[in-house]
Amino acid sequence: MSLIKKRKCPECSGEMEAKLINLNYKREGVDLEVEVIGIPANVCARCFYRVIPGKVAKYIDSLVDPLFETEISCKEKLLPSPHVGIQFPFLDRNTYAGL
Ligand SMILES: [Zn+2]
């Protein structure tokens, strides 16, 4: 099963490489921050444009969305908004990269 297919960069048509990346999720008007570590993605070697596979992006959204919903619907501010970290176990390149 290869999540990341070999493809050209949609921005500059440079070579893309399968890599694990980190992303910071933020929403306008909310102080909550979610840092997600170890996301498999295609990264352009030339312009660093990143493409996360649709299914992976959806899955991460489903993890992150409830945190933002909780924060948005929170009426009584007891504590400052937290910085949440989500870390996926390290994936060997062969398990997500197409040859
Ligand atoms: Zn590029």
- Mean per-residue pLDDT pooled into runs of 10, the chain (99 residues): 88 96 95 97 97 96 97 92 96 85
Q: For position 77, what pLDDT does the model report?
A: 87
Q: For position 1, what pLDDT does the model report?
A: 59
Is residue 2 one of the residues assigned to a domain?
A: no
Is residue 31 one of the residues assigned to a domain?
A: yes
Q: Work out how many domains the chain is built from and give that number.
A: 1
Ligand 1 centre distance from Cα of residue 39 (Å): 19
- Quote the pTM value: 0.89
Total count of residues recorded for the chain: 99
Domain range enclosing 77 = 16-86
Contacts of residue 43, Cβ cutoff 8 Å, sequence gap at least 6: 16, 17, 18, 19, 21, 49, 50
Contacts of residue 1, Cβ cutoff 8 Å, sequence gap at least 6: 95
Q: What is the CATH number of the domain that holds 48?
A: 3.10.20
Ligand 1 centre distance from Cα of residue 5 (Å): 15
Q: For position 36, what pLDDT does the model report?
A: 98
Ligand 1 centre distance from Cα of residue 7 (Å): 11
Ligand 1 centre distance from Cα of residue 8 (Å): 8
Is residue 5 one of the residues assigned to a domain?
A: no
DSSP 68-98: HHHHHH--S--SPPPEEEEEPPPPPHHHHB-
Q: For position 99, what pLDDT does the model report?
A: 60
Q: For position 2, what pLDDT does the model report?
A: 80
Is residue 70 one of the residues assigned to a domain?
A: yes
Identify which of 53, 43, 55 has the alpha carbon closest to the alpha carbon of residue 12.
43
